[in-house]
Every structure is written in C-alpha cells, then in structure tokens.
C-alpha cells in the first residue's frame, strides 16, 4: 500500500502542482441483524482504492479510483490536476494552507479481540438469544438486534514528505424492544438508540455491554410505558442521561463549531452555524461548569472519532471548545485555519473512504465530567424530570433552536425516581440551554458514546463520531409531551 501511495503521489507531482496528498484505503465491514427471531441482515463487504487531492493554480482538485494499476492511478492523478486547473478559471481567491510538519509513523488502534476472528454463526447466535429473551415478554411486539464491525487500514502520503499508516477497528452492538398497543408504539433501546453503543474497540465491546442480561429489563420498560403517566408540561428542572446528552452535544455543540459551516463552504447539508467569527472568545456558551473539548487523541478514549492523524496528515489534538462556559474554539482544517488567521489546523479533516474528499468532521466532541456525585445531580432540587435514551431530534439550520424526544422519563422527588413518564420531550435555545446547566456528574459516570451515522457533504458522507458525557441537570427547561397518548 505504501508503494502504491508513493507512486500515485509521484504521478500528481509530475504535473507541477503546488501540493498533493494521497490516501490508499483497504476496508472490511460486517453487519448482522435480527428481527423477531429471524436474521434480517447478514452482510459483509471489502473495498480498496485511492483518492488523490492536489492544489494547483490556487484551487483544489480531487479524483479517486479503484483501478490500482499504473494506468488507473495515472489517470486519476491527471483528472485531479485537470479539475484543480479548471477551477482556477472561476476562483475568487487562492487556497492557502496553514503549515504542517511531515510525519512517518505506523499506528494501530487497540483491539483486544478481532471481531472478524469470531464466526458469523457465533455472533448471530448471540443476537438471536437476545431477540428471544426480549420476546419472552408477551407485551413485546417487535424485537430487533444488531452488530456492526469495521476495519480500515489507510496509508496517507503527501508532498510534505509524510507517510502515515493507520489501522482502526470499530465495533457496535445494541437492541430495541417495541410494544404496540392500540394506536400507540413504545420503544426501549439498549445501551442507546442509533444501534446501541459504538466504539473503537474489537469484539470485547460486545462482551462488555452484557446485552443478554439487560434484555428482560428493557422489554419490561417498553411494555410498562403504555401504562405510564403522560410527561408533565411546563418549565421544570431537567436531568438528562449520558447517552441523550451525547446527542445534545453532537447537535448543539459539535455541528455549530465546524468552521466550514461558519465560513459558508458547507451549507446545503443541514445548514450553517450561529457561531459566526465575531463570537469566538466573545460568547458565553454555557454556565461556568460547562467545559467541552474536541479531542481525537487515543488517550481521550476509544471513540469513533479517535485516530493518530487526520486525513490531511495533521496529528490528533485536544482543542478547547468551551472553557468555563466561554466559547473558545472551532474545529478546523489547514485551509480554514489559515482563512481565520490561525497558525495550525487542529486536525479534524476526515473522509468516509477512498472515493470521498476529506471534510471537517467531528472527532470526539465531549462534555467534560463535573465534580458532582450522581446523588448530588439527582438530589440538588426538590423535583425534576429525568429523561433517558433519544427517540427523536430536531434542530434548525443554524443549530440554535432545538427539540428532543426521549424514550422514557421519570419524575424525581427529593433525589428519588417515582413515577415512570411516557413520551417526554424538551426544547430550547442552544446557549440558553447550556447556560442553565446546574450540575454535571463526575468521571465515575462519564461514558464516551458513539454516533455511527453523522451525515455531511454532497455526496453524503456518513461517519462515526464520539461524544463523552455524564448525566447532568439543567434548570427551568421547557418540558412537554410532543407525542399523543
């Protein structure tokens, strides 16, 4: 792979371009799912190809191919150059890149149990056992389970002299129990919605999740929700579990800090951002206990946004986004960093594969743990509403006004759960919501959650991101019931 990447780089540089980089990628995927006792998906795929990006006449050009012969690679390199030079005829200004060093390194993400060494039969047997356990409860109408595994090896080379070889293995697993009664559908998911938990780990993640053991409780809650009280409406204190808060971070912190959205080069897919440049270091984003980082470093944890180098050959970094409630940072590329006068990219460029151009993507955008115990988070007020597990989300095209629905709620009185509540929702304005944050649970309850399907770009690129969060309490939030029942 390295030799192929270097040959492709040479092909591009022979045209006299100012900069070029190449990504050669080999990937392997496996997906399994069941539905009501039967396999609903058992699939595998392998892919290999390369993408060539060049900067010529002040413009980007990109081309990709799975024809890895000499002629195929040379054709792709020539096309990338042609695209860049054609763009130069209509450019408004030259692309300028922030400087970066060269690196030569091989990095393999930790993976204790290779998921592809475990047979499909064994994995499917586990899913079917969970499926059966869910359906032991007669009130469960539909049971679904899933596992997904991926291994990607990427070799990146650039005209700076970098040669970076990275291998990442990720795993995900989870299940849902649905209960239909009359015209109402209730759902409970474990360990989260969006297909469960996803991390940069091997098959050990599946073992850690203890899926089968959790199935009876999840099924029971799905059925019990039909008889639960309707969620109260009004401005109340809200406690949000870690997995739901991870999605809140994703939508109301992660997307707004993508600098290409701010600058307008990404707008068609899900809009731009309210975080215009004048707000950097000049906006109270949250209360003083709110601290958030964009952190791709392996030491941050096994997130779907963890790597050693991004797809521009920039090292993984930790960047402060919110510090003591103040907005202090964007996610940047070499181009966007230079555009706002910064001296270096903070390494967030990624693509979903060899056929796609790298974009600014969330790495692990995490809310740092607070200092409160879980008892203090729940017991800090006389009454509150606690919500678990995302059911729906909606946010405007500037990432400012939002509404979220959760699968289950609980009424909290004097720090204890009392009534189960169905169809809970909450809504607000991004900065008002984060400024209302009154308590965040400590490191003991912090989990790095995976969102496997974040979409961006045209053609769309769906990529995995990570979001660390622990349960937190928010004061005077608009709470209601958006669903019938």
Residue-wise pLDDT for 312-327, tens only, equals 999 999 999 999 999 9
Residue-wise pLDDT for 391-446, tens only, equals 999 999 999 999 999 999 999 999 999 999 999 999 999 999 999 999 999 999 99
CA dihedral 229, 231, 234, 237 (to 10 degrees): 110
Q: Angle at the Cα of 386 (from 382 to 392), degrees rounded to 5? A: 150
Per-residue pLDDT band at 485 (split at 50, 70, 90): very low
d(CA 238, CA 378): 10
Residue-wise pLDDT for 164-186, tens only, equals 999 999 999 999 999 999 999 99
The whole-number pLDDT of residue 90 equals 85
Tell me if the bond preceding 459 is cis, omega within 30° of 0: yes
| Neighbour tally for 361: CB within 10 Å | 25
Q: What percent of the chain has pLDDT over 90?
A: 93
SS3 171: strand
Q: Look at residue 483 and tell me whether its pLDDT is greater than 60.
A: no
d(CA 425, CA 231): 8
Residue-wise pLDDT for 452-479, tens only, equals 999 998 889 999 999 999 999 999 999 9
C-beta separation of 155 from 1 below 8 A: yes
Task: Give the mean pLDDT of 6-33.
Answer: 96
The whole-number pLDDT of residue 481 equals 57
Q: Look at residue 134 and tell me whether its pLDDT is greater than 90.
A: yes
d(CA 115, CA 148): 9
List, in order of start, the domains of the chain with CATH numbers.
Answer: 2-227 (3.30.2290.10), 229-480 (no CATH)
The whole-number pLDDT of residue 373 equals 96
Residue-wise pLDDT for 83-126, tens only, equals 999 998 888 899 999 999 999 999 999 999 999 999 999 999 99
d(CA 229, CA 251): 29
| Neighbour tally for 420: CB within 10 Å | 15
Going by their DSSP bridges, the two strands 425-429 and 142-158 should be labelled as unpaired
- Under DSSP, the state recorded for 300 is G
Q: What percent of the chain has pLDDT over 70?
A: 99
The whole-number pLDDT of residue 146 equals 98
Which two three-digit tokens encode residue 37?
């006792």
Which residue from 14, 23, 308 is spatially nearest to 156, judged by alpha carbons?
23
- Under DSSP, the state recorded for 130 is H
Task: Give the mean pLDDT of 143-160.
Answer: 98
Q: Look at residue 270 and tell me whether its pLDDT is greater than 80.
A: no
Strand pairing partners for 28? 46, 151
Going by their DSSP bridges, the two strands 184-190 and 197-199 should be labelled as unpaired
- Under DSSP, the state recorded for 254 is I
d(CA 128, CA 34): 7
| Neighbour tally for 66: CB within 10 Å | 12
pTM higher than 0.75 for the full model? yes
Residue-wise pLDDT for 212-266, tens only, equals 999 999 999 999 999 999 999 999 999 999 999 999 999 999 999 999 999 988 8
Task: Give the mean pLDDT of 367-376.
Answer: 96
Tell me if the bond preceding 191 is cis, omega within 30° of 0: yes
């Amino acid at each position: 792979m390295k030799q192929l990447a270097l040959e492709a780089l040479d092909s591009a540089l022979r045209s006299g371009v100012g900069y070029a980089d190449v990504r050669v990628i080999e990937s392997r995927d496996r997906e399994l799912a069941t539905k009501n006792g039967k396999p609903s998906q058992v699939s595998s795929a392998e892919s290999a190809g390369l993408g060539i990006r060049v900067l010529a006449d002040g413009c980007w050009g990109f081309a990709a191919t799975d024809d890895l012969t000499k002629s195929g690679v040379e054709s792709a390199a020539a096309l990338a150059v042609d695209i860049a030079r054609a763009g130069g005829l209509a450019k408004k200004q030259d692309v300028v890149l922030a400087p970066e060093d060269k690196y030569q390194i091989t990095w393999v993400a930790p993976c204790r149990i290779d998921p592809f060494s475990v047979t499909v039969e064994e994995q499917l047997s586990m899913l079917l056992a969970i499926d059966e356990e869910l359906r032991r409860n007669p009130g469960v109408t539909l049971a679904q389970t899933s596992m997904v595994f991926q291994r990607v090896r990427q070799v990146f080379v650039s005209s700076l002299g970098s040669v970076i070889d990275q291998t990442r293995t990720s795993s995900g697993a989870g299940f849902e129990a649905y209960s239909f009664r009359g015209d109402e559908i209730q759902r409970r998911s474990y360990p989260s919605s969006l297909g469960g938990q996803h991390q940069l780990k091997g098959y050990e993640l599946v073992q850690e999740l203890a899926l089968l053991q959790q199935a009876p409780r999840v099924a029971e809650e799905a059925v019990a929700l039909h008889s639960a009280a309707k969620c109260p409406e009004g401005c109340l204190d809200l406690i949000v579990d870690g997995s739901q808060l991870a999605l809140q971070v994703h939508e109301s912190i992660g997307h707004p800090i993508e600098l290409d959205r701010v600058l307008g080069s990404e707008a068609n897919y899900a809009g731009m951002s309210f975080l215009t440049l004048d707000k950097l270091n000049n906006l109270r984003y949250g209360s003083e206990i709110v601290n958030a980082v964009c952190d791709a470093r392996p030491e941050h944890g096994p997130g779907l946004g963890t790597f050693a180098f991004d797809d521009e050959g920039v090292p993984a970094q930790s960047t402060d986004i919110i510090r003591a409630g103040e907005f202090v940072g964007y996610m940047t590329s070499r181009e966007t960093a230079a555009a706002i006068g910064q001296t270096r990219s903070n390494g967030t460029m990624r693509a979903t594969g060899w056929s796609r151009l790298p974009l600014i993507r969330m790495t692990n955008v995490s809310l740092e743990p607070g200092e409160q115990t879980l008892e203090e988070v729940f017991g800090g007020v006389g009454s509150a509403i606690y919500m678990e597990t995302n059911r729906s989300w909606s946010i405007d095209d500037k990432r400012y006004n939002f509404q979220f629905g959760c699968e289950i709620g609980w009424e909290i009185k004097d720090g204890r759960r009392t009534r189960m509540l169905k169809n809970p929702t909450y809504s607000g304005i991004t900065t008002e919501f984060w400024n209302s944050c009154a308590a965040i649970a400590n490191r003991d309850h912090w989990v790095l959650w995976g969102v496997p399907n974040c979409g961006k770009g045209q053609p769309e690129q769906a990529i995995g991101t990570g979001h660390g969060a622990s349960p937190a309490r928010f004061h005077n939030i608009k709470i209601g019931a958006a669903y019938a029942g």
